[in-house]
Amino acid sequence: MSNSVNFAQGCPTCGRRLYIRVEHLGKKVVCQHCHGKFTACDQSSLGHSHFDASDVVLRRANELLRNATQRNLHSQVGHPR
């Protein structure tokens, strides 16, 4: 039986409730639902959150646009118009 302790944290990108191992506190983690990247922190110990949700959404949108652009560039290689 595992002795790991988890804490709940909402993904700042998609809002899903995630259960993260305490060993990952302060480390970068990836949401398994939306693949958003964020730092694991136990927000209940902070009292309240100081992050701006709009910044998180803009960073995620930029990441998705970069990925889409890269996919389009790769798919066009060898397929001239």
Which pLDDT score, from 0 to 100, does residue 5 have?
85
pLDDT tens by residue, 12-23:
889 899 999 988
- CA distance linking residue 41 with residue 45, whole number of Å: 9
pLDDT tens by residue, 27-78:
999 999 999 999 998 766 555 455 556 666 677 777 888 888 888 887 777 6
The model's pTM = 0.50
Statement: residue 3 has pLDDT above 70: no
